[in-house]
């Protein structure tokens, strides 16, 4: 039988189109931008980054070639950096251009949003000018529910409906602010203002203890990033608001952070440095 060599947790695997290979794995969940497959060991998941791009609760859709590759390496970069400063995340290792091995978590059904400057839904809700610096970072919670359009909820709702305990809320707040300090600092270093971002948090069990860790992804899909000098948007708003090429914007972020070679041009299949 013919085999192809593939640098992968699956070792040497029979020749087949990428889609055949993926079809043989057990799919656990397919979201708008990622697909999750059962990992090689219990408690692990393979997270596959798709090129599919959606906005406004999937009312606007496109396939943007290369976006999944960029988000995979950018999310790896941020998660590894967080791990290095002691913020626990689900990231274990990148497997290839589009996949990473992550720890399985029990996802808390909330989007945790941190805002440093007014933008997006908060600017609209409170009638604030986009770009206005907030008096301090503001953390918001939205219920993860596509049918309801991920509505904003308060800590009262969260505790009363049991989506998270009071202890979880304290831990989520502390994780969110640590991620904010890290991301804002890293971005500032490459001339980018971190306007806001969204993270998801998961629960893991270590023996009798449970703790919360950062899960899902951190990428320009889930952040607002503006060039400090020009205010140019380098995030998913480029797609939401038809401001140009999304891969150009994400490639620029990746190049500034040093995860793509300086000379790389935006293209379908970006070249990785390592
Ligand atoms: P807003 O509430 O202003 O629409 O979003 C605040 C921040 O959270 C933005 O950086 C936005 O990209 C991110 N965000 C909010 N909801 C989602 C979501 O459902 N998916 C992703 N990828 N990011 C989100």
Per-residue pLDDT tens digits for 11-21: 333 333 445 45
Residue 178 pLDDT greater than 80, yes or no:
yes
pLDDT of 94 reads 98
Ligand 1 mutation pick, 64, 198, 216, max ligand atoms within 8 A of CB:
198
Name the residue of 50, 58, 120 to mutate for ligand 1: max ligand atoms within 8 A of Cβ: 120
Pairwise CA distance, residues 148 & 165, whole Å: 22
**Whether pLDDT at 232 is above 90:** yes
The pLDDT confidence band at residue 6, using thresholds 50, 70 and 90, is very low
Instruction: Give whole-number Cα distances, 177 to 10, 75, 170, 230, in Å.
Output: 37, 18, 11, 26
Could you tell me the distance, in angstroms and rounded to a whole number, from the CA of residue 189 to the centre of ligand 1? 23
Compute the half-sphere exposure of residue 209: CA atoms within 13 Å on the CB side of its CA: 4
Closest protein CA for atom 16 of ligand 1? 198
Find the 263 Cα to ligand 1 centroid distance in Å.
Answer: 30
Residue 252 DSSP class: H
Determine the pLDDT at residue 263.
Answer: 72
Q: How far away, in angstroms, is 258 Cα from ligand 1 center?
A: 25
> H helices within the chain, ranges in order?
18-23, 67-84, 120-126, 155-160, 166-189, 237-240, 246-257
DSSP-assigned letter for residue 92: E
Cα 13 to averaged position of ligand 1 atoms, centre (Å): 38
pTM score of the predicted model: 0.89
pLDDT for the residue 7: 37
Check: CB of residue 105 under 8 Å from CB of residue 160: no
Mean pLDDT over all residues of the chain? 90
Look up tokens 């090429």; give the residue: 245
Neighbour tally for 133: CB within 10 Å: 10
Residue whose tokens read 């804002």:
184
User: What is the reported pLDDT for 260?
Assistant: 85
CA of 212 to the centre of ligand 1 (A): 21
Q: Are 76 and 91 in contact (CB under 8 A)?
A: yes
Residues with CB under 6 A from ligand 1: 111, 113, 119-122, 150, 196-198, 221-224, 236
CA 41 to ligand 1 centroid distance, Å: 32
């Amino acid at each position: 039988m013919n085999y192809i060599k593939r640098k992968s947790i699956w070792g040497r695997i029979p020749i087949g189109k990428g889609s055949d290979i993926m079809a043989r794995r057990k799919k656990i969940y397919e979201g708008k931008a990622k697909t999750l497959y059962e990992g090689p060991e219990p408690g692990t998941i393979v997270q596959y980054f798709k090129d599919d791009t959606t906005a406004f609760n999937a009312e606007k859709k496109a396939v943007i070639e290369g976006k999944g590759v960029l988000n995979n390496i950018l999310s790896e970069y941020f998660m590894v950096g967080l791990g290095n400063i002691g913020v626990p995340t689900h990231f274990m290792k990148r497997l290839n251009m589009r996949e990473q091995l992550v720890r399985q978590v029990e996802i808390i059904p909330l989007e945790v949003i941190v805002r440093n400057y007014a933008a997006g839904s908060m600017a609209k809700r409170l009638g604030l000018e986009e770009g206005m610096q907030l008096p301090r970072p503001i953390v918001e919670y939205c219920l993860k529910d596509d049918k309801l359009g991920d509505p904003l909820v308060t800590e009262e709702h969260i505790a009363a409906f049991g989506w998270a305990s009071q202890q979880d809320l304290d831990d989520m707040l502390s994780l969110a602010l640590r991620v904010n300090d890290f991301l804002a600092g890293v971005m500032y270093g490459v001339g980018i203002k971190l306007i806001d971002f969204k993270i998801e948090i998961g629960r893991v069990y270590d023996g009798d203890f449970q703790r919360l860790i950062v899960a899902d992804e951190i990428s320009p899909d889930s952040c607002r990033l503006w060039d400090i000098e020009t205010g140019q948007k380098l995030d998913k708003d480029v797609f939401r608001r038809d401001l140009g090429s999304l891969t150009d914007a994400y490639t620029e972020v990746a190049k500034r952070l040093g995860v793509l070679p300086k000379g790389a041009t935006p293209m379908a299949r970006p070249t990785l440095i390592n």
